[in-house]
A and B are shown apart, each in its own frame.
Chain A
């Protein structure tokens, strides 16, 4: 019986390792660190073009504070940019952040179970679509020190 349990656990473990690596689960997290992976820009009379984040001044990393509702660049980037979220909704496994700043409207959707980020930033005659991924930021004071 004991051997059977051991073999069963080993088999289950092998099955789990065969699946793709699970993405970050953001359930319950209030602060996220998001990374930009792909950026595509579309204009009215041009086709859409994939660009690097730097080309369109999209931050590589972005901290999302769901409590204070602020998007900010990381301290390490030295950019010190931030934007206030006007509308936040966390429902049905999704985090939706929306707002407007300097003639740009943005809508960011983050899936809690996968950490996948999909965002659209639009200005007149230009749309920028951003794909990325997010991970929870450990609470302050939670380190090994």
Chain B
């Protein structure tokens, strides 16, 4: 009976501790490594202050070694995404309104068959204009699709290059921290 009472009282005492731990959100400051997506564990029992100092040193070393600053890289990536979006819109807009130019061209003269449906005074002009508009729109759509495809390819290439640079930086950062006896994963 005494043993049971000890267990219960221990559990009752433990509840507020657990509840308190759950109610408080973890507001630990994000480390430099976490900010760039690298997980670092102090393998040699280094205190947090020392870990911050080591991460800062390794960050500087990795920037100097790779020529890549992840925070600058993020800005560049954002700019590239914005530019790609703007270029896509521009490419899409280029396809619109291109029918009118095609409609102006298409004058023909001097032949029995060649003059059919190309009479300026009759319905031929309207049909000619309609046909020109259709052809122009078709060409515009093709040009627009090609331009959009190029923009997307360029954006993908830029994204790939950025990801490659970020990967290189993380490797350098990790090598430095591992040399300082941290366990690192990214």
Task: Point out residues on A near B: beta carbons under 8 Å.
Answer: 41, 43-46, 49, 51, 54-59, 62, 71-73, 81-83, 99, 101-104, 106, 121, 123-126, 128
Number of A-B contacts (CB under 8 A): 88
Question: Using a CB–CB distance below 8 Å, which chain B residues touch chain A?
Answer: 108, 110-119, 122-124, 127-128, 130-132, 134-135, 138
Determine whether the beta carbon of A82 is less than 8 Å from that of B112.
yes
Contacts of A83 in B (CB 8 A): 111-114
Instruction: Tell which of B115, B135, B138 has the most Cβ of chain A within 10 Å.
Output: B115
A143 to B159, CA, bound (A): 86
Query: CB distance B112 to A126 under 8 Å?
Result: no
Given A45-B134, A102-B108, A125-B131, residue A71 in contact with residue B123 (CB < 8 A) = no
Inter-subunit contact B115/A57 (CB<8 Å): yes
* Interface of B (DSSP majority class): loop
With A54-B122, A126-B127 known as contacts, the answer to whether A72 contacts B116 (CB < 8 A) is: no
Asked if B117 contacts A56 (CB within 8 A), the reply is yes
A residues in contact with B112, CB < 8 Å: 59, 62, 71-73, 81-83, 101
Which of A49, A54, A71, A125 is the one whose CB lies under 8 Å from B113? Answer: A71
Please determine whether A121 and B135 come into contact, CB atoms closer than 8 angstroms.
Answer: no
Contact between chains at A46 and B113 (CB < 8 Å): no
Residues of B contacting A126 in the complex (Cβ-Cβ under 8 angstroms): 117, 127-128, 130-131
Q: List 27 A-B contacts (CB under 8 A).
A: A43-B131, A44-B134, A54-B122, A55-B122, A55-B123, A56-B124, A57-B118, A57-B124, A71-B113, A81-B110, A81-B111, A81-B112, A83-B111, A83-B112, A101-B113, A102-B114, A102-B115, A104-B108, A104-B114, A121-B116, A121-B117, A125-B130, A125-B132, A125-B135, A125-B138, A126-B128, A128-B117
Is there an interface contact between B135 and A81, defined as CB atoms closer than 8 Å? no
* Chain B residues closer than 8 Å to A55, beta-carbon distance: 119, 122-124
Q: Which chain B residue lies CB-closest to A85?
A: B113
Asked if A81 contacts B117 (CB within 8 A), the reply is no
Docked complex Cα distance between A57 and B138 (Å): 26
10 smallest CB-CB distances across A and B, nearest first, come from: A102-B114, A57-B119, A55-B123, A125-B131, A81-B112, A83-B112, A126-B131, A125-B134, A55-B122, A101-B114
Q: Whole-angstrom distance from the CB of B184 to the nearest CB of chain A?
A: 62
A56 in contact with B111 given A43-B131, A121-B116, A126-B127 (CB within 8 Å)? no
Contact with B115, one of A62, A81, A124 (Cβ below 8 angstroms): A81
**Interchain CA distance A81-B123 in the complex, whole Å:** 19
Q: Is the CB of A56 within 8 A of B116?
A: yes
Name 15 extra pairs, CB < 8 A, besides A101-B111, A126-B131: A44-B134, A51-B123, A55-B119, A55-B122, A56-B124, A57-B116, A57-B118, A81-B112, A82-B112, A102-B114, A104-B113, A104-B114, A121-B117, A125-B132, A128-B117
